């Protein structure tokens, strides 16, 4: 196989990243159950692995997002940043008791539902619109 055949297009990378964001938002959309499923550290880390303001334009400019999806993800980001600050030093049970996962849950559920309404992209071939 040639080196060219091994290269992945930016569009395909964007499609895969969008699918990972859907998975990360799904955990947050599960509220307390999401924290219990992955733990407090991974609850935040998985989300911030893909949605982060260290490079604010990077995730917002993916070709696979609509403007409405970016706005919904910005709302989740703002809630997650507030929760991270408010729960610093807490374990997962303390974090749940703080109520933050429940506060974020409806915001994340809206973003998750919006993204799922368009669907997931194929991860092996480029698509203009999600097929999954």
How far separated are the first and last CA of the chain, in Å rounded? Answer: 29
Residue the block writes with tokens 């407090």 = 40
What 3-state class would DSSP assign to 90?
Answer: coil
In a domain, 95, yes or no: yes
CA distance 60 to 45: 18
In a domain, 127, yes or no: no
In a domain, 1, yes or no: no
Number of domains comprising the chain: 1
pLDDT in tens, the chain (132 residues): 444 556 889 899 999 999 999 999 999 999 999 999 999 999 999 999 999 877 656 788 888 999 999 999 999 999 999 999 999 999 999 999 999 999 999 999 999 999 999 999 999 999 988 887
Question: Range of 62's domain?
Answer: 9-118
The conformation of residue 122, written as its DSSP 8-state character, comes to: P
In a domain, 126, yes or no: no
In a domain, 23, yes or no: yes
pTM, two decimals, is: 0.90
* Residues recorded for the chain: 132
In a domain, 22, yes or no: yes
CA distance 35 to 47: 12
């Amino acid at each position: 196989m040639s080196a060219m055949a091994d290269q992945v297009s930016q569009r395909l990378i964007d499609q895969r990243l969008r699918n990972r964001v859907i998975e990360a938002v799904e955990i947050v959309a599960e509220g307390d159950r999401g924290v219990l499923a992955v733990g407090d550290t991974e609850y935040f880390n998985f989300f911030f692995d893909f949605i982060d303001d260290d490079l604010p334009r990077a995730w917002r400019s993916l070709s696979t997002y609509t403007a409405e999806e970016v706005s919904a993800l910005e709302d989740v980001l703002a809630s997650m940043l507030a929760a991270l600050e408010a729960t610093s030093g807490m374990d997962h049970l303390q974090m749940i008791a703080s109520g933050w996962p429940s506060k974020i849950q409806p915001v994340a559920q809206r973003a998750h539902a919006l993204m799922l309404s368009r669907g997931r992209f194929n991860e092996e071939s480029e698509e203009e619109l999600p097929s999954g």
